[in-house]
Amino acid sequence: MVNRKQEELYDPIGGFNEIEKVVEHAKGYLLYANEVIANITGGTTLMGVIVQHLVEEAQKQNSSMRRFALIDRRSTREQDEVPFVESESHWLD
């Protein structure tokens, strides 16, 4: 079973003061997760930083953790016209 939990960022671009809140909120989910899968692709810089913090927290809790990146080889124009398509995945862990 896949358990997904969303956390809202008030400032997804510059809200670096929100990192600790998001990580604290996720700790319980990470503790009981059989596996944590982290997508490091896309979003704002802050979102990528938060994902990295969550990965580090999962590692501290000895959760099984894997990171992946999605690769979209289409031109920027094509991506703008049809943004959501199945992409290549590249597993990092």
Q: How many Cβ atoms sit within 10 Å of the Cβ of residue 35?
A: 10
Domain extents in the chain: 20-91
- Is 33:58 a contact under the CB 8 Å cutoff? yes
Between residues 4 and 46, the one the model is more confident about:
46
pTM, rounded to two decimals: 0.82
Q: What is the pLDDT of residues 31-88, one digit of tens each?
A: 888 899 999 998 999 999 999 999 999 999 888 999 999 999 999 999 999 999 999 9
Radius of gyration of the chain (CA): 15
Please tell me the distance from the alpha carbon of residue 60 to that of residue 30, in angstroms, as a whole number: 10
Backbone angles phi, psi at 21, to 5 degrees: -60, -45
Can you tell me which residue has the tokens 């016209």? Answer: 81
